Amino acid sequence: MRAEIQKLLDGIDLASTSIGKLRASLEQALGLSEGALEARKDHVNRVLQNELMKKFQKPSAQEKKGDDTKNKRKASDKESEESQKKKEKTDEDGKDQIKGDQQKVDEPSAPEPANSQVVADPEPQQEPDSTFEEFNAEEEEAAAQHKALLSKVKTWALSGGEDGTLRLWDLEGYACIRVFEGHTSAVMSLSVDWLEMQALSGAADGAKLWSLRLGGCTHTFVGAEEGCAAIVGNWYDSQALGGCWDGRLRLWDLTTGEVKQSIQAHAGGVWALDVDWKKKRVASGGDEQFKMWETENWSCILIVAGHPGGIMCLSVGWEDQHAIIGAGEQSLQLWELEDQQARNLLGHRDSVAHVQVDWAEAKALSGGWDAQLRLWDLEKGILIQAHECKFGRIRSMSADFMQMQAVCGSTGGGLHFVDLHSGATLRSLEGHIGGVTAICTKF
């Protein structure tokens, strides 16, 4: 690869190019498809920059001529020195030979060994091309540095935006560590395995699996080209479940990216998912229906209708069979699924797009397009806190009930950290172009 880069730099106008253009030209020179080096973009860019520096630092013609003269002079002196040594050695060998000949006259000749042969001096070995060794060494060094960073940082956030990018944030240093490019449309859902540092993304142009550690896309899943609004990972069994715009639930194999199951679920599209993989249960929301599925044979075992405006978010308490469902027309309801009884949680003035629940503590946080965060006591069915967000409509949300803090994505491209006691915005991070439409956090 390095040889191709050097050849590429020799024949290009460096004043009118960029690293991105050079990377694209390198793909063509290597016979790769467009975007093939995207997964290793950071490392390839670093190699390109190193080779550019070497090119700029080459000596001038006069300096090179002077260096050649010095080298020739050194070589000539060395040859003279070696010639003199050989002459002296030849004189000594001649004297020894005369003495030896004189002794052979006086002594009988010894017979030569039957298997005697002349052993030639071994030819000097050519030094191996270190191009790939250097390339791999640089790659290993970069990977080691990133691995050290991953082991150091304990709190993370992964965000997805309308700009089609994913961003990995260090929440201790409040900095963006990596940007992942691959989607061409808005990212609508994320699911993260923080232990192995891999993530699933559902977007308007499909679904993908990412390596957060290596920094690239591992798979683009088949069948979600029309859009994937919700996605959940079954990391133990290497599976992913997606809720798609065409109304189907699709189960993918994380190893191959192929579809294992495809079930027609909601005529108006699947917009929300919750899963208990141990109980083999899936809850889906789409159009105005909430459905529950048995994953052994993917049969529908429960339907709860009557969610005006269409279901936008949901969360299920699998132990006590409760569910909280947010919908399009100011609707937030707490359901007892066994007897299908609902309690309205009133207060939002627009669509309730996001909900997160601590079922053990019976607390829920809802976020709406009305720029409100509302904290609920689910046991009593009452409002605990309501906060107006100055940054506007809540486009995505993740909550830490222990710290009583929420991270919200806004239309302006920022991540905003909100104190759930006071409603104050503690900090904001900018990065996305357009709305931040999905967030996953590890607090």
Q: Residue 269 pLDDT more than 50?
A: yes
pLDDT value, residue 137: 59
Of the candidates 148, 157, 271, 254, the residue with the CA atom closest to the CA atom of residue 200: 254
Which amino acid would we find at residue 368? Answer: G
Q: pTM of the prediction?
A: 0.67
pLDDT value, residue 30: 72
- Contacts with 135 (C-beta within 8 Å, 6 or more apart), sequence order: 1, 2, 47
Region 205-221 average pLDDT = 95
Q: Residue 363 pLDDT more than 90?
A: yes
Binned at pLDDT 50, 70 and 90, residue 24 comes out as confident
- CB of 337 within 8 A of CB of 350? no
Q: What are phi and psi of 145, to 5 degrees?
A: -65, -45
- Contacts with 336 (C-beta within 8 Å, 6 or more apart), sequence order: 321, 322, 342
- Contacts with 34 (C-beta within 8 Å, 6 or more apart), sequence order: 24, 27
265 sits in which H/E element: none
Place of tokens 């906060």: 387
Q: What percent of the chain has pLDDT over 90?
A: 62
Encoded tokens for 192: 């993260």
- CB of 389 within 8 A of CB of 418? yes
- CB of 188 within 8 A of CB of 197? no
- CB of 348 within 8 A of CB of 330? yes
Cα 389-395-399 angle, rounded to 5 deg? 70
- CB of 269 within 8 A of CB of 244? yes
Residue 354 burial (C-beta neighbours within 10 Å; 0-12, 13-18, 19+): buried
Place of tokens 């001649």: 94
Average confidence score pLDDT of the chain: 81
pLDDT value, residue 280: 96
DSSP string, 144-212: HHHHHHHHH---EEEEEETTS-EEEEETTTTEEEEEE---SS-EEEEEEETTTTEEEEEETTEEEEEET
Which residues make beta-bridge pairs with 168?
Answer: 158, 178
Query: 105-109, 225-229, 251-255: lowest mean pLDDT where?
Result: 105-109
395 sits in which H/E element: none
Region 225-253 average pLDDT = 97
**What order do you get walking across the sheet with 425-430 strand by strand?**
396-400, 405-409, 414-419, 425-430
Calculate the alpha carbon distances from 16 to 19, 44, 58, 181 in Å. Answer: 11, 20, 20, 24
Q: What percent of the chain has pLDDT over 70?
A: 69
Q: Residue 293 pLDDT more than 60?
A: yes
pLDDT value, residue 104: 43
Region 152-158 average pLDDT = 82
pLDDT value, residue 106: 46
Q: Residue 85 pLDDT more than 90?
A: no
Task: Give the chain's radius of gyration (CA, Å).
Answer: 34
Q: Residue 304 pLDDT more than 90?
A: yes
Measured from the Cβ of residue 131, the count of other Cβ atoms closer than 10 Å reads 14
Q: What are phi and psi of 322, to 5 degrees?
A: -115, 155
Q: Residue 164 pLDDT more than 50?
A: yes
CA distance 297 to 166: 34
Binned at pLDDT 50, 70 and 90, residue 66 comes out as very low
- CB of 271 within 8 A of CB of 311? yes
Of the candidates 310, 308, 339, the residue with the CA atom closest to the CA atom of residue 323: 339
